[in-house]
Chain A
Amino acid sequence: MIKRCENTRDRIGAWMDGELSGSEAEEIRVHLESCRACREERRQLEKLQASLKAVLVAGPSNVSFERFWSGVEQRISRKRAWHEDFFGWVHDLMTPPQLAWLVPAVIILVLTGVFSLESFFPGARLAVQRNNFAAVESIDGFGRNVAVLRENETRTTIIWLYQNQEGEDESIGEKSESSPSF
């Protein structure tokens, strides 16, 4: 019964609006005959509907429309500034159906722009993370090392064996300056 009341109350507004199919409407009607709580819900909704109508419809009934057309005509005949037209056009583009096309279009434009930038400025590394790999490991703890450098753009891997000069620091930057001995 509670479930049936919930179902009825969810659809009672649509039923009052005459928007339910014949069988659904009949179901609601039959339930209302037997359920006092749902009848009370219907009464409240009917009162709400009548009050809404009174506030929204009867309120502005004394408005004069004598000068309405002249206001529209003035707008039509007035030459608008270019920026008003432009913003109007942009605003129209921002409606949801237009945005459905705009979003992928903007993504494609941005990606195209980024890739183009890279071709105009070869030093720029904006579009793709190259993920080059470099590592230096000591082999035996006595100054012999192996360095591995993998360069993704040319798919080249270099393995480099060398020995530290005496007293040389083991930091990577300095190792790169040392002379490798094979």
Chain B
Amino acid sequence: MEFSDWDLVQKCQAGETSAFQELVLRYQQKIFMVVLGLLRDREDSMDVAQEVFFRAYRKIKGFKGGSSFYTWLYRIAVNMAIDSHRRQKRNPLEFRENMDRVLEEQNEVEKDPFSNAHDQELRAGLTAAINDLTAEHKAVIILRTVEGLSYKDIGEILGCSEGTVMSRLHYARKKLQGKLKAFL
């Protein structure tokens, strides 16, 4: 029998750690993808994603079900990833090394989504352009592109209106488009 998120949350609130494990299994990949989109470093992202679930575990008793569990969880993830991203930005050398590693990783043929495409440069340019976005702009791009979330859900996660989400997405895309004009 498949339990809903809310059923599992209630079991967690009653002290069943196995129910929380089930929630982790459901969302670990999605949360990791969101964090990775913001941080661009696999090791850091894995660490932050685990920390996200730990934070969720500690706060789960206070979760009343006012929003869906995944928007609540994503909110924790985005906030923690943005914090971590800001700390990385304060350490540009480390950030640059991480970026280089990401580019190296993506150059491996079996992992490369552009391996059959002619525009390797576009991929490198895009990766760099994403990293030049502000954390808020990056967050909307990732939540929309990776997770395909609606503007309403993104607004709930980021604590802003749908109009703000629309505006942030518009400007983030404009910035990316401007930087990649030669490739598009």
Residues of A participating in the B interface, judged by any CB pair closer than 8 Å? 10-11, 13-14, 17, 19, 44-45, 47-49, 51-63, 65, 68-69, 71-73, 75-76, 88, 91, 95-97
Partner of A57, one of B57, B105, B146: B146
Chain B min CB distance to A6 (Å) = 12
Query: Can you list 30 A-B contacts with CB-CB less than 8 angstroms, sorted by A residue number?
Result: A11-B170, A13-B170, A14-B151, A14-B169, A17-B151, A19-B150, A19-B166, A45-B173, A52-B145, A56-B33, A56-B141, A56-B146, A57-B145, A57-B146, A59-B105, A59-B111, A60-B32, A61-B111, A63-B42, A65-B29, A68-B46, A68-B49, A69-B28, A71-B50, A75-B50, A75-B53, A75-B54, A76-B54, A91-B83, A97-B159
Chain A min CB distance to B46 (Å) = 7
| Chain A residues touching B, majority SS | helix
Given contacts A44-B177, A45-B173, A72-B50, contact A56 B25 (CB under 8 A): no
Q: Given the complex, which residues of B lie within 8 Å of A62, measured CB to CB?
A: 110-111
- What number of B residues sit within 8 Å (CB to CB) of A? 50
The interface stretch among B84-92, B93-101, B119-127 is B119-127
- Of chain A, the residue at the smallest CB distance from B160 is A96
Tell me which of A19, A48, A59, A97 has the highest count of chain B C-beta atoms within 10 A of its own C-beta. A59
Q: Given the complex, which residues of B lie within 8 Å of A53, measured CB to CB?
A: 145-146
A75 close to B32 (CB less than 8 A): no
**CA of A73 to CA of B20 in the docked complex: distance in angstroms?**
10
Partner of B33, one of A10, A57, A76, A96: A57
Q: Does B142 contact A (CB under 8 A)?
A: yes
Q: Given the complex, which residues of A lie within 8 Å of B150, measured CB to CB?
A: 19
Partner of A54, one of B42, B123, B159, B177: B123
Chain A min CB distance to B28 (Å) = 5
Tell me which of B57, B113, B141 has the highest count of chain A C-beta atoms within 10 A of its own C-beta. B113
